[in-house]
Amino acid sequence: MPYDPSDFPPFAVTVDLVVLTVRRHALCALTVRRAEEPHRGRWALPGGFVRVDEDLASAAARELAEETGLRAQDSESRHAGAHLEQLATYGDPHRDPRMRVVSVAHLVLAPDLPAPTAGGDAGSAQWTPVARLLGSTDGGPVDRLAFDHARILADGVERARSKIEYSSLAAAFCPAEFTVGELRRVYEAVWGVALDPRNFHRKVTGTPGFLVPVGGTTTRQGGRPAQLFRAGGATLLNPPMLRPEV
């Protein structure tokens, strides 16, 4: 059959950002309160429409900066421990009431980031515990996200949980130099479980290429001085750090 452009209605492409960090020992996601319709006043993931003259990665970085004042680094640069990767594509015909919109979601992981500053079409921005957005086991309140952002967030959280099993990505939540205890609390926050400190220390220090001692100590977590490490050169963990069964 000959190609007829009228058979294909126009649609838009957006980027949505799942930005995760660990704050006060809890896994938190960056959320913005929508200042415009649709879903005005509802919390949502940061993001927006891709411009005709930009690629997806540039759109993701721009939206993050415009709506929150934060900057993300590409995962290959490894600056400040940040990690940025494409997550998935979402194209349900009814996901946006304005028109047919396809979203390419991105996952950003970073150490304890500063309080965000709202901008663009965001009324306000904040770090929100993931448990409050996706539902917690204690029956606490749930903040309903706009559009299909709860599904996108859930996919991003599961990606992070699974990747820290077999990769060194957990270090992306830590500062440049960190203790084994700080790394353990990252695993506990992301997985939502308590880990045995001695077993964890043995596993991570015994995994080739995971951690490299930097020759110093710190007391910032209280108690006795703890040895400082930095992320090693390994990208894959062998053996992997398997999630405990809950």
Q: What pLDDT digit, counting tens, does each position of 86-129 carry? A: 999 999 999 999 999 999 999 998 887 777 776 666 668 899 99
Domain covering 168-231, topology: Arc Repressor Mutant, subunit A (1.10.10)
What is the spatial distance between Cα 63 and Cα 68, in angstroms, rounded to a whole number?
8
Range of lowest pLDDT (5-9, 30-34, 120-124): 120-124
pTM of the model: 0.88
Range of lowest pLDDT (1-5, 26-30, 111-115): 1-5
| 12 pLDDT higher than 50 | yes
Contact 110, 172 (CB under 8 A): yes
| 132 pLDDT higher than 80 | yes
| CA 42 to each of CA 14, 20, 58, 99, 228: distance values in angstroms, whole numbers, following the listed order | 18, 19, 26, 19, 42
Domain ranges of the chain: 5-165, 168-231
Integer-rounded Cα radius of gyration of the chain? 20
Q: How confident is the model at residue 42 (pLDDT cuts 50, 70, 90)?
A: very high
Second CATH level (architecture) for the domain 5-165:
Alpha-Beta Complex (3.90)
